[in-house]
Amino acid sequence: MPQKNKSDLLSLVNELRGAVARGPDHWLDATYDALGRVADAVHGAVGVVEDTSDRLGDINRDFQNVPVTQRHVETTRKRMIQLGEEAHQLRAEIRQAPGLPPLDVVQLRLRVEEVAGLIEKVEKDDEKFMLETANSNPGAGE
């Protein structure tokens, strides 16, 4: 079920962090499940990013086809796809985690935290872009 609301994605990222913070006997399954929900939400967020030009066009048609908007959409889209792929890769690695040495499990937890932080950063950067574009003249000088 793709998520179309950014707050839903950020809420799922917080849920993922809570799963990673669980005790050693429970974090693997909880993190595996949470990563699945985050990966689905990231997939949905790609569609939202692809609609950025239209949303900006609703605010002001001059914003819609400006090169800076097109660059932002393409860059953010690529970053979200990459993060979704990474979430799926981490899920696959978690399935193998019970047989890993403790140090590798610690590294896995750190990677999950890193992905969570990167998703939040991409979302915040996208929100900042929308606000700055709506309050500026993005086509000036291009």
Q: How many CB atoms lie within 10 A of CB 26?
A: 10
Structure confidence at residue 85 as a pLDDT band (50, 70, 90) = very high
Report yes or no on 77 lying in a domain. yes
95 has pLDDT over 90: no
pLDDT of 47: 85
Report yes or no on 1 lying in a domain. no
Three-state DSSP at 101 gives coil
Q: How many CB atoms lie within 10 A of CB 102?
A: 8
User: Whole-number mean pLDDT of the chain?
Assistant: 84
pLDDT of 42: 94
Cα-to-chain-centroid distance, residue 104: 24
3-state secondary structure 35-48: HHHHHHHHHHHHHH
Q: Do 122 and 52 contact (CB within 8 A), yes or no?
A: no
Instruction: Over range 116-141, report the average pLDDT.
Output: 82
Instruction: Over range 73-102, report the average pLDDT.
Output: 89
Into how many domains does the chain fold? 1
CA-CA distances (angstroms) from residue 71 to 17, 53, 66, 68, 85? 31, 11, 9, 5, 21
74 has pLDDT over 80: yes
Q: What is the domain range of residue 71?
A: 6-134
Report yes or no on 105 lying in a domain. yes
Query: What is 8-71 written as a DSSP string?
Result: HHHHHHHHHHHHHTS-TTTHHHHHHHHHHHHHHHHHHHHHHHHTHHHHHHHH-HHHHT-HHHHH
Report yes or no on 139 lying in a domain. no
Report yes or no on 69 lying in a domain. yes
Report yes or no on 140 lying in a domain. no
Query: For 2-17, how does the pLDDT look when each residue is reduced to its tens digit (9 = 90+)?
Result: 435 567 999 999 999 9
